[in-house]
Amino acid sequence: MLLALLLVAAAVPPDVARHLVGGALSDGVAYARLRDLTDTIGPRLSGSPGAEAAVQWALKKFQQDGLSVRLEPVKVPHWVRGEESGEILPAPGIVGHRLALTALGNSVGGTASAEVVEARSLAELSALGPAARGKIVFFNHTMSKPDDYGRFVEMRSHGPSAAARVGAVAVLLRSLATASLRTPHTGMTSYDADAGQVPAAAVSTEDADLIDRLLQRGPVRVSLSLGCRMLPDADSANVVADVRGRERPDEVVLLGAHLDSWDLGTGANDDGAGVVMVMEAGRLIGSLRQRPRRTVRVVLFMNEENGLAGGKAYAAAHRAELGKHVAGLEADSGAGRPLAIRLRAGDGAGALLAPWIAPLESLGIQLEAGDAGGADLGPMDPASVPLVRVHTDGTHYFDIHHSAADTFDKIDPAELAKNAAATAMVAYALAEMPDVLPRAAPRPPRDNQAAPRPAAH
């Protein structure tokens, strides 16, 4: 027992733990950078001037931190929102109502004015069949907690194509949200190649309830106009920064987050918080007196939100090296309180890692059973890179997710700092421990939009 304790104590030198954990908790750098990114650069939708400014911003910060940084080219979809509006049309006995709505990302623009038909799932819509012809399909659901997102997101990703197949003219979706002050929440939709394309928008949960109540009285007509459109693909980049390993520089511990955001808010939670956490881990590890054994690589991915072009481009460009990627961590779950470290790796991985993250016990953070992943890391699945995750309290994540309310004021500086500390400590552990984590069996292929991986929103 005593020997075990001594070994635990010996895993990470105390001055290293102090530099990483203490530095993240007291420096305030991650919080200041997040304020800079969200307040001065703002929204960062792929292809927008904000996304390009964020790439240049990150490049400069990594240079200031002394990391070896480069831009890796990515072609991204360039979708723009334009003006958008909608209303419940007045009818005998019913007053008209302006709707709080916003186009789903990648939607075609257009106008529609038609009767509404409600469906609570894709199956319910196909059962309606001809009854939906010429109508606006209103997808309603009962999302009330974060775990519900995975159950209902298929209505956002595949609903518009399903609606086109039954001859509907547009789609309204109840926002995928756990709270609302009449704020609509956007998110990506994608059209199937073999179906028509109809305009699609999210309505606030309050407006969804209103439509549902009015439908119980009789027919409801809605008119909507979406000015969004898809422009030609744009040139953009992943920002890739290395702290080169002192002994095995070809072995890589990848820390990822996505630099792009939706356009409605300023992407403070999704994913500005993740961006500054992994940057902070890179900064702190890069400023250690002795660099870790392996390379710690920070990757700020472009276009997670509406295409995953950055994740795919990274996996393709580095395919030959993925066998030497010894671990991956993606920070894309907001900045709620960090609760535990979770792993997806082969048998025995937890026992190897646990002693190396012992300094996090002072923050109440330990290894626990669970899964790990990340949308941008998904394209690396065939290489079975061991995945690690800082599991955070996500209770309020979907209150503001993909909405105009995702702004800097929602960030708790103390919890952000703890997340940065946990990320830095885990990254150091993975880069310094003598053995690498065993790899798990490859994950079966899956539809990223319909079934998000843990930590991938």
Whether the CB-CB separation of 279 and 58 falls below 8 Å is answered with yes
Q: Cα(80)–Cα(186) distance, rounded to whole angstroms?
A: 13
106-to-34, 46, 262, 362 alpha-carbon distances in Å: 27, 11, 11, 44
Which one of 118, 263, 271, 406 is in contact with Zn ion (CB under 5 A)?
271
Contact 134, 219 (CB under 8 A): no
Provide, rounded to whole angstroms, the least separation between the CB of residue 260 and Zn ion: 9
Closest C-alpha among 456, 31, 24, 51 to residue 282: 24
Q: What are phi and psi of 256, to 5 degrees?
A: -120, 155
Task: Output the smallest distance, CB 258 to Zn ion, in A.
Answer: 6
Please name the residue that has the structure tokens 């954990």: 21
Burial class for 283, CB neighbours closer than 10 Å (0-12, 13-18, 19+): buried
Q: With respect to Zn ion, which residue has the nearer C-beta, 140 or 261?
A: 261
Answer yes or no: are the C-beta atoms of 201 and 104 closer than 8 Å.
yes
Closest CA to 360 of 309, 422, 300, 314: 422
Name the token pair of 200.
């699609």
Closest CB to Zn ion among residues 101, 375: 375
Work out how close the CB of 336 gets to Zn ion at its nearest, in angstroms, rounded to a whole number: 14
CB closer to Zn ion, 169 vs 380: 380
330 binds Zn ion (CB under 5 A): no
> Which backbone phi and psi does 249 adopt, to 5 degrees?
-65, -20
Pick the piece of the chain touching Zn ion (CB under 5 A) from 93-101, 152-160, 225-233, 326-334.
Answer: 326-334
- For Zn ion, what does the binding mask look like between residues 281 and 320, x meaning CB under 5 A? ----------------------------------------
For residue 209, say if its preceding peptide bond is cis, omega within 30 degrees of 0: no
The residue among 84 and 332 lying less far from Zn ion, judged by its C-beta, is 332
Return the number of the residue (391 or 457) whose C-beta is nearest Zn ion: 457
Stretch that binds Zn ion, among 26-34, 327-335, 364-372, 387-395 (CB under 5 A): 327-335
Radius of gyration over every alpha carbon of the chain, rounded to an integer in angstroms: 23
Name the minimum Å distance from CB 332 to Zn ion: 4
**Span from 8-16, 121-129, 218-226, 269-277 in contact with Zn ion (CB under 5 A):** 269-277
How many residues touch Zn ion (CB under 5 A)?
4
Closest separation in Å from C-beta 105 to Zn ion: 12
CA–CA dist 243, 291 (Å, integer): 8
Q: Where are the alpha helices (DSSP H) in 166-272?
A: 205-217
332 binds Zn ion, rule: CB under 5 A: yes
Nearer to Zn ion, 19 or 401 (CB): 401
Q: Which one of 105-113, 236-244, 268-276, 309-317 is the stretch in contact with Zn ion (CB under 5 A)?
A: 268-276
Nearer to Zn ion, 260 or 280 (CB): 260
Query: Closest approach of Cβ 103 to Zn ion, in Å?
Result: 19
Q: Which two tokens stand for residue 61?
A: 């910060």
Query: With respect to Zn ion, which residue has the nearer C-beta, 12 or 456?
Result: 456
Q: Which stretch binds Zn ion (CB under 5 A): 271-279, 343-351, 392-400, 446-454?
A: 271-279
Catalytic residues: 304
Q: In what order do the strands lie in the sheet with 221-226?
A: 97-98, 84-88, 221-226, 110-119, 136-139, 170-174, 200-203, 101-103
* 263 is an interface residue for Zn ion by CB under 5 A: no
Q: Does 376 bind Zn ion (CB under 5 A)?
A: no
Structure tokens at 89: 């049309």
Closest distance of CB 334 from Zn ion, Å: 9
- Of 84, 270, 330, 432, the one binding Zn ion (CB under 5 A) is 270
**H runs (alpha helix) in 242-401:** 273-286, 309-317, 349-353, 397-400
Q: For the CB of residue 148, give the shortest distance to Zn ion in the complex, in Å.
A: 17
Give the interface segment with Zn ion, choosing from 12-20, 44-52, 237-245, 265-273 (CB under 5 A). Answer: 265-273
Site residues, Zn ion (CB under 5 A): 270-271, 332, 457
